Amino acid sequence: MSLEMNPRITDLKISGIRTFANKLVNYPDALNLTIGQPDFPAPDKVKLAAIKAIAEDKAGYSSNAGLLELRQAAADFFRDKYDCHYNPETEIMITNGASQALDAVLRTILLPGDEFIIPAPMYAGYVPVIQSVGAKAVYLDTTDTHFQPSVERLKELLTPNTKAIMFNYPTNPTGAVIAHEVMDEIVEFLKDKDIYIISDEIYSENSFGHEHKSFGSYPEIKDRLFLIHGLSKSHAMTGYRIGFLMGDARLIAQTVKVSAFNILCASVPSQYAAIAALTECRDTPDVMNASYMKRRDYVYGRLVDMGIDVQKPEGAFYIFPSIKKFGMTSEEFATRLMAEGGVGVVPGSAFSEVGEGYLRITYAYAMETLVLAMDRLEGFVKSL
């Protein structure tokens, strides 16, 4: 067939995360530590709210921006928890997960030739969206700054084509959190720059032992900030597909157009479930985090005992050890670990070339799975 397709799409590659997860079908006995999904069920109150909405036939369209009741619940939640102040009528929209919120933002603000700065290693799903609109991703390397974004390095990357910078803290894939003083310094630097700021804080509820600070709590950058969040990680609601996009009314007025012509509105039964999550299940993340911290400490301790260089994560549910000492690419190491060691992980190269030499291990799995996986990893390392 000779009909041409959009080369910006045909040139895109499937996420390295999914690529390695899909390879596991060839190794049925391998343990899967690739996918970042809570192994907890959604709260009962969330499930009952969705069921009730369906039973009461509350399954038609909502407004493009989402149910006002949910937007109000989101406004209250982010005000109370993170000192973020958004008008639910004009400054919040409900999206089909955080991923669709990001897509709406990037298609609203980016033009071909624009440059988009991202601290890296970073989530594999960001760059394809940037490339699909003809913009260019520029990586801010954090591997030698404890996965913290350096303001000095950021200054060096700015050009007349810089349109936006994105932050994702706590971070997928490293589990790093941004220090409050670093955030203060970044905001001070960017507050007078004509650059959009996007903050993906999907893992804010999965912060361990410290208080999460949001970029949305800085009024001096509100006119250029898009704040993205959702319930997939915090409330184990991945399949419900509910995300939040918050920003100045001028920004939301434009992004809601993109969302309207893309999804029209988020699933309405899921929106009612989200209301329950934000109003009746605020403590749910605390229960999961207690387990995540135990799992993190176990995996971190085992990696250290194996002599593997690794930074202890302070959020999300990923750990990002270095395998540079073994003299293999991350893809080669991950492939051999899957085939010879029986453990599926994601090569660091899936998170940009800056992630080469690392692995992402997800510890959102039962402890017995993690124990066996670390035993297998240790056996594989000893065989090298």
Give me the residue spans of the domains in the chain: 7-42+284-383, 44-280
Residue 286 is predicted with a pLDDT of: 95
Q: How far is CA 319 from CA 76, 144, 146, 345, 359, in A?
A: 32, 16, 13, 11, 8
State the DSSP code for 322. B
Residue 16 is predicted with a pLDDT of: 67
φ and ψ at residue 70, rounded to 5 degrees: -70, -40
Q: Are 337 and 361 in contact (CB under 8 A)?
A: no
Q: What is the pTM of this model?
A: 0.95
Q: How far apart are CA 69 and CA 273, in angstroms?
A: 12
Copy the structure tokens of residue 250: 């001028």
Copy the structure tokens of residue 295: 């799992």
Residue 80 is predicted with a pLDDT of: 97
Q: Residue 242: helix, strand or coil by DSSP?
A: coil
**Mean pLDDT of all residues belonging to the chain:** 95
The domain 7-42+284-383 is placed in CATH, from the list 3.30.465.10, 3.90.1150.10, 3.40.50.11540, 3.40.718.10, at 3.90.1150.10
Residue 209 is predicted with a pLDDT of: 84
Q: DSSP for 28-51, please give it.
A: TTSEE------SSPPPHHHHHHHH
Q: Which CATH architecture does the domain made up of 44-280 adopt?
A: 3-Layer(aba) Sandwich (3.40)
Q: Are 324 and 285 in contact (CB under 8 A)?
A: no
Question: Which residues fall within 8 angstroms of residue 80, CB to CB, at 6 or more apart?
Answer: none
Local confidence pLDDT in tens for the 384 residues of the chain: 578 888 888 887 777 676 777 777 788 889 999 988 999 999 999 999 999 999 999 999 999 999 999 999 999 999 999 999 999 999 999 999 999 999 999 999 999 999 999 999 999 899 999 999 999 999 999 999 999 999 999 999 999 999 999 999 999 999 999 999 999 999 999 999 999 999 999 999 999 988 999 999 999 999 999 999 999 999 999 999 999 999 999 999 999 999 999 999 999 999 999 999 999 999 999 999 999 999 999 999 999 999 999 999 999 999 999 999 999 999 999 999 999 999 999 999 999 999 999 999 999 999 999 999 999 999 999 999
Question: Which residues fall within 8 angstroms of residue 56, CB to CB, at 6 or more apart?
Answer: none
Copy the structure tokens of residue 187: 């905001």
Residue 12 is predicted with a pLDDT of: 77
Q: How far apart are the first and last CA of the chain?
A: 48
183-216: pLDDT as tens digits? 999 999 999 999 999 999 999 999 998 899 999 9
Angle, helix 44-55 to helix 268-280, in steps of 10 degrees: 140
133-167: pLDDT as tens digits? 999 999 999 999 999 999 999 999 999 999 999 99
Residue 11 is predicted with a pLDDT of: 83
